Amino acid sequence: ETQIIKLDPNRPDEQYTQHIAYAAQLLRAGELVVFPTETVYGLGANALDAQAAEQIFIAKGRPLSDPLIVHIADEHELENIVSVVPATARKLAAAFWPGPLTMILPAGPRVPALITSGLPNVAVRMPGHPVAQALIRTAGIPIAAPSANRFMHVSPTTAQHVYVDLKGRVPLILDGGPCTVGVESTILDLCAEVPTILRPGGISLEALRSILPQVQPPQPRQTQDEEDFTHAQAAPGQMHIHYSPSVPAYLFEGSVAAMRQAMLAELQTRKARGELVGVLIADEDLNAFQDSGAIIYSLGRTPEQIATHLFAGLRTLEEASANVILCRTFTEQGLGLAIRDRLLKAAGSKVTKV
Ligand code: TXA
Ligand code: MG
């Protein structure tokens, strides 16, 4: 009973407008709608309606201690969501909105506690995807939306990914094609003493620092047990979740040559045991793995391409029934910080330094 509607934002004809209006009406009626953003697909509900937002947690199987990002289409809407708009937020919005930047700001009184998991602060972002913008604007309400995957799974970058995870659990998926950025938004805490990145994402540290030089990179993780959701209430929003493929992933770190060598050795060992091995690599590694007998998924060449294809790569190897996924690390420059963060989350503690 999950309906998928294809929308081409390059051809916003009358039918397109009608589909957006239908989705907006569902949202206003308290229903869930999955929509594309430039980062990943979002599972949306009316952010000012606690009962509607609660459906998000149920559909995803997500604990209430993990707060939601509120999506807006117009900077004026900020005033309805946050209690103060600091000058730094205005500057960042001018530079990066619409786009893959989420700002943590003091929550206004209209935001239900369910959205923030009871925190005094709220996460706000203005997505750049034309379908997301049209939907939020037409609905006329701010939209709370986490990534549209089942809890703990890899974020979806196509409508098909969403369907695999949420079929029968949501009434409508708007299919706007594959997401271009491919990793989630950068979350920047503007309530901290010094603006600090909580989650690296589609806007790089370097880009943020070009506007706010004092921005701090993500701080080393606290020692809290990553799987310990019962105690996560103590620090909602600080949960360190592995969103992992359902297949175990192993991450290799080191020089390119050493990583290739270690991955090929691991591959031979596992092949000898009869395992089907998937490798997540870049174009520059293709020659080395060509005759290895692995299922090969190349993410591309540049950090931008690697980010775009990362989640699709993990899901593709999962669906190819690989018993194990071997991946390598890339540069930490630019989007590389987000790529590395997602690979580490996918691998959990299974990191081999070579
Ligand atoms: O690109 C994205 O950000 C996508 C698209 C759909 O917009 N959304 C997304 O949402 O990735 P989600 O729920 O999967 O991840 C949002 C994370 C939460 O897990 C939480 O850690 C953090 O944002 N967060 C939300 N509200 C917060 C708050 N008030 N304080 C601190 N962290 C917060
Ligand atoms: Mg998520």
d(CA 6, CA 268) in angstroms, rounded, equals 43
d(CA 246, CA 212) in angstroms, rounded, equals 38
Decide: 157 in ligand 1 pocket, CB within 6 A.
no
Which ligand 1 atom sits nearest the alpha carbon of residue 181?
Answer: 1
Decide: 204 in ligand 1 pocket, CB within 6 A.
no
Q: Where are the domains of the chain?
A: 3-234, 249-353
> What's the pLDDT band for 230 if we cut at 50, 70, 90?
very low
249-353: CATH topology: Rossmann fold (3.40.50)
What is this structure's pTM?
0.95
Instruction: Report whether 69 contacts 202 (CB < 8 A).
Output: no
pLDDT tens-digit series, residues 237-292: 556 556 677 899 999 999 999 999 999 999 999 999 999 999 999 999 999 999 99
Mutating to test ligand 1, I would choose from 104, 184, 196, 242 the residue with most ligand atoms within 8 A of its C-beta, which is 184
Decide: 146 in ligand 1 pocket, CB within 6 A.
yes
Cα angle 37, 162, 4; round to 5: 85
Decide: 32 in ligand 1 pocket, CB within 6 A.
no
d(CA 238, CA 229) in angstroms, rounded, equals 11
Average pLDDT over residues 78-86: 96
Decide: 176 in ligand 1 pocket, CB within 6 A.
no
pLDDT tens-digit series, residues 123-180: 999 999 999 999 999 999 999 999 999 999 999 999 999 999 999 999 999 999 999 9
3-234: CATH topology: DHBP synthase (3.90.870)
Instruction: Report whether 196 contacts 188 (CB < 8 A).
Output: yes
pLDDT tens-digit series, residues 303-351: 999 999 999 999 999 999 999 999 999 999 999 999 999 999 999 989 9
ipTM of the complex in this document: 0.99
Q: Whose CA is nearest to atom 13 of ligand 1?
A: 146
pLDDT tens-digit series, residues 15-72: 999 999 999 999 999 999 999 999 999 999 999 999 999 999 999 999 999 999 999 9
Q: How far is the CA of 184 from the centre of ligand 1 (A)?
A: 9
Decide: 40 in ligand 1 pocket, CB within 6 A.
yes
Which ligand 1 atom sits nearest the alpha carbon of residue 201?
Answer: 1
